[in-house]
Amino acid sequence: MIGGLFIYNHKGEVLISRVYRDDIGNRRNAVDAFRVNVIHARQQVRSPVTNIARTSFFHVKRSNIWLAAVTKQNVNAAMVFEFLYKMCDVMTSYFGKISEENIKNNFVLIYELLDEILDFGYPQNSETGALKTFITQQGIKSQTKEEQSQITSQVTGQIGWRREGIKYRRNELFLDVLESVNLLMSPQGQVLSAHVSGRVVMKSYLSGMPECKFGMNDKIVIEKQGKGTTDESAKSGKQSIAIDDCTFHQCVRLSKFESERSISFIPPDGEYELMRYRTTKDIILPFRVIPLVREVGRTKLEVKVVIKSNFKPSLLAQKIEVRIPTPLNTSGVQVICMKGKAKYKASENAIVWKIKRMAGMKESQISAEIELLPTNDKKKWARPPISMNFEVPFAPSGLKVRYLKVFEPKLNYSDHDVIKWVRYIGRSGIYETRC
């Protein structure tokens, strides 16, 4: 199991060090070994797991802060990284951004958290909802016996993510379907790979211990239901989507999903991620990028890029940005674009073309002339792909929320009384076209 956990600043000074196991030996040696061999290493880090003198170090970086877990045993590596991410989440939810300043300001809190969420190197309950009930930095004020046992039963309980007795005047929930669409396209317009990774993020403000059921146009569910009335299945079959794989927040009853493919759960209070999914079939690619690069002699490049929007004309895409890489020996660039603004950014070696808004079924174009300095560098320019960023108000996977039902038998509000908001946002993930 995890033998120790260190947090360093960018200079390699240790800000937090907590040792859980005797086998990692001298704390100083372990702390120094990581600093010398990883943080101060001359070469770029080649692996997130480093073995130094039979000791293994796992690290993640958040801005310029290094978090490192140390062990001498054959630990579950995936668990260690999941834990480190979780640790970051917990810290972020307690004091915001993970920075040297914040860590120094909250070091007592961090030690207290580390004591609670890692025991002898074994991760324990790390749901912030539960932790915040008893790790507060204000000292536990004399709690009643009931309060105490409520805390402990929540921390260890089956529903560790929600406490009892939550009350809202207005029962409300917000459902965001956030998708990022990823594309790799060849210069000829052939889709090399495309997938959507989506997340359903929920903000729930519901009283009591509500039982929720979430439904979407999952092909498997729709086909199962449609068996009775063949008419309907043909109709709805068009709108259903094939989900390659999905994963759920720990509140979702996985065995029920496995057997009935229904998504039922008692939600945590506040914001959390209900599910993640991935689709690869019938993806709506919101934009098509058509590049044209021509080398004119050894000192000039001509670039023309056309983008086409491919969705309903009534919808508007936002925050569109096209990034056209330029060679390292670029000396000057002239750009002409039909819409938006384009600029050559020498520090980023790219032409950045920004368009605020663009409706569906439209087309726009940019052309640029790139002057190059003559070099004797034998190595060819690698021609990185043209990448794109955007945001569209629909789900490129075609996912639709069919229902989200709320039942709370103990309290007197029904599904109708809950105010529900649903929103779809499609963003570009890695959306690249090779040129």
Q: Which of residues 233-292 bind another protein (CB under 8 A)?
A: 244-250, 253-255, 257-258, 273, 275-276, 278
Considering only residues 130 to 189 of the shown chain, the ones binding another protein according to CB under 8 A are 134, 137, 139-140, 143, 145, 148-149, 151-153, 155-158, 160, 184
Please say which residue, 29 or 229, places its beta carbon nearer to another protein: 29
CA–CA distance, 124 with 117 (Å, rounded to integer): 5
Quickly list H helices, 238-307.
Answer: 254-260
Considering only residues 90 to 119 of the shown chain, the ones binding another protein according to CB under 8 A are 101, 104-108, 111-112, 115, 119
Q: Does 125 interact with another protein (rule: CB under 8 A)?
A: yes
What's the min distance (Å) between Cβ of 243 and another protein?
9
Considering only residues 386 to 415 of the shown chain, the ones binding another protein according to CB under 8 A are 387
Please say which residue, 70 or 290, places its beta carbon nearer to another protein: 70
What's the min distance (Å) between Cβ of 168 and another protein?
26
What's the min distance (Å) between Cβ of 262 and another protein?
13
Q: Which residues contact 294 (CB under 8 A, 6 or more apart)?
A: 301, 302, 303
Q: Which stretch binds another protein (CB under 8 A): 69-77, 223-231, 347-355, 406-414?
A: 69-77
Say if CB 212 and CB 268 are below 8 A apart: no
Please say which residue, 354 or 434, places its beta carbon nearer to another protein: 434
Please say which residue, 45 or 292, places its beta carbon nearer to another protein: 45
Q: Which stretch binds another protein (CB under 8 A): 70-78, 348-356, 395-403, 405-413?
A: 70-78
Q: Does 58 interact with another protein (rule: CB under 8 A)?
A: yes
What's the min distance (Å) between Cβ of 54 and another protein?
6
Considering only residues 182 to 241 of the shown chain, the ones binding another protein according to CB under 8 A are 184, 192-193, 195, 197
CA–CA distance, 176 with 196 (Å, rounded to integer): 15
CA–CA distance, 378 with 215 (Å, rounded to integer): 58
User: In Å, how far from its chain's centre is CA 391?
Assistant: 16
Q: Distance between the two ends of the chain, CA-based, in angstroms?
A: 47
Q: Does 13 interact with another protein (rule: CB under 8 A)?
A: yes
Considering only residues 333 to 372 of the shown chain, the ones binding another protein according to CB under 8 A are none
Say if CB 211 and CB 401 are below 8 A apart: no
Phi/psi zone of residue 20: left (φ > 0), alpha (ψ -120 to 50 degrees), beta? alpha
Please say which residue, 134 or 174, places its beta carbon nearer to another protein: 134
Q: Does 28 interact with another protein (rule: CB under 8 A)?
A: yes
Residue with tokens 């229902």: 403
Q: Which stretch binds another protein (CB under 8 A): 22-30, 307-315, 352-360, 409-417?
A: 22-30
What's the min distance (Å) between Cβ of 99 and another protein?
11
Say if CB 273 and CB 311 are below 8 A apart: no
What's the min distance (Å) between Cβ of 277 and another protein?
9
CA–CA distance, 121 with 71 (Å, rounded to integer): 9
Encoded amino acid at 68, one letter: A
Write out the DSSP string of 171-236: -EEEEEEEEEEEEEE-TTS-EEEEEEEEEEEEEEE-SSS-EEEEEE-BHHHHHHHTTS-HHHHHHH
What's the min distance (Å) between Cβ of 171 and another protein?
26
Q: Does 21 interact with another protein (rule: CB under 8 A)?
A: yes
Q: Does 74 interact with another protein (rule: CB under 8 A)?
A: yes
CA–CA distance, 79 with 126 (Å, rounded to integer): 13
Count of residues near another protein by CB under 8 A: 111
Nearest to 288 by CA among 316, 308, 304, 315: 308
Nearest to 325 by CA among 356, 297, 347: 347
